[in-house]
Amino acid sequence: MSALWRALTVLALVIALVVTPSGARAELVDIPYTVVRGDTGRRVARRFGLTYAELQALNADRSLERLRVGQTIVVGRGHRHVHQVHAGEALSDIAGRYRVTIAELQRWNPGLRPARLSRGQEIAIYSDRAEPPSESVGEVDQGSLVNGVALPTHPGFVVRHRERTFLTVDAAEHLMRAFDALRDADEDAPRVQIGDASRQRGGRLDQHRSHQSGRDVDIDYFYRRCRETCGHHRIAPADLDADRQWRLIERWLRDGSVEYIFIDHALQEPLYEAARRAGATRNELSQWFQWPRAADVRYGIIRHVPSHADHMHVRFACAPHDTACVPSDGRDPRHE
């Protein structure tokens, strides 16, 4: 049974009885299915994880006892998206991005052949999400952002320029979860200021070489004299609130959601010691940190880039199904 179909069907049955205060129904559409030879009402219901009664409720104006080949019936309600296939994109990539199955994609698109996808081909998809998933396209310094989301308000941070804080959905979720975890563990933690991420559609952003594809975000540091909101200014190693800074960073390193975190080389030492006190192993420290190696050694996820003594630059990794996303290899200084 598909959890998606169950959720969409239950939602559809509720919406059939409930009207919003404005009198407008929720923006959902019928999910059609074309009857093929051998179909019965009960077989179709089982195929889509429905009871016969649920399928009949979705088709109250027609009988399911005598289905005809070629007849169209409704098997759910959902938000309809149209996905354009990228070069080299597989049907499994598309299914993973929209959190549906390949079988569902084929049911929604009769005649769809997984081995014969072509660039620009349009595929209809039904989802319980009103907005289509976002995509990071191209390189961080020559890229764009599709369906970017603006960071919402959060008790853990403030945003400096909202029109410059768009990310992919995946990157935004990773960022929010880390701040959620920090606040759960430390209710007294001050807020920090978030600087630039990307524009809504990505592309060139003033004062930055990267920040073009919805994966980069600048976050100011926690520092010791900070009370309510830690703003944007240069700090010395002794001023870094390293334990709090590590609590925020650690989650991203452990779940593999970041590609790089750019931090001034001098600030890496107190952060390294905070990680060691928190239980990071020698191998983890070696893999995660550039320090104690020299600032010009291109090694580690946390590494030095000039002009990062007043904020850190977090670059989230390409999402598993972002086939148009190009990872940065850490050797090209343009990417940093």
Reference 295, options 276, 258, 267; nearest CA is 267
Which whole number is the average pLDDT over 199-203? 93
In this prediction the pTM is: 0.71
Both 256 and 150 in one domain: the answer is yes
- The residue among 119 and 80 whose pLDDT is bigger is 80
Domain C-terminal end among 96, 115, 133? 133
Domain C-terminal end among 133, 148, 179? 133
Q: Which amino acid would we find at residue 193?
A: Q
Q: What is the pLDDT of residue 193?
A: 96
**pLDDT > 80? residue 163:** yes
Both 77 and 173 in one domain: the answer is no
Q: What is the dihedral of CA 63, 69, 71, 72, to 10 degrees?
A: 100
- The residue among 336 and 232 whose pLDDT is bigger is 232
Q: What is the pLDDT of residue 331?
A: 53
3-class secondary structure, 289: strand
What are the pLDDT digits (tens) for 43-69?
A: 999 988 899 999 999 999 888 998 999
How many domains in the chain?
Answer: 2
Both 276 and 171 in one domain: the answer is yes
Q: Please answer whether residues 201 and 168 qualify as being in contact, where contact means their C-beta atoms are separated by less than 8 angstroms.
A: no
Both 178 and 308 in one domain: the answer is yes
Give percent of the chain above pLDDT 90: 58
User: In CATH, what number is assigned to the domain containing residue 49?
Assistant: 3.10.350.10
Both 192 and 230 in one domain: the answer is yes
Structural domain of residue 40, as residue ranges?
A: 3-133
Q: What is the pLDDT of residue 103?
A: 87
DSSP string, 119-177: TT-EEEEEES-SSPPPEEEEETTEEEEES-EEPPPBTTEEES-GGG-EE-HHHHHHHHH
User: In CATH, what number is assigned to the domain containing residue 250?
Assistant: 3.30.1380.10
Q: What is the pLDDT of residue 10?
A: 44
Both 91 and 205 in one domain: the answer is no
Both 316 and 172 in one domain: the answer is yes
**pLDDT > 50? residue 181:** yes
Both 176 and 321 in one domain: the answer is yes
Both 72 and 197 in one domain: the answer is no
Q: What is the pLDDT of residue 19?
A: 32
Both 153 and 174 in one domain: the answer is yes
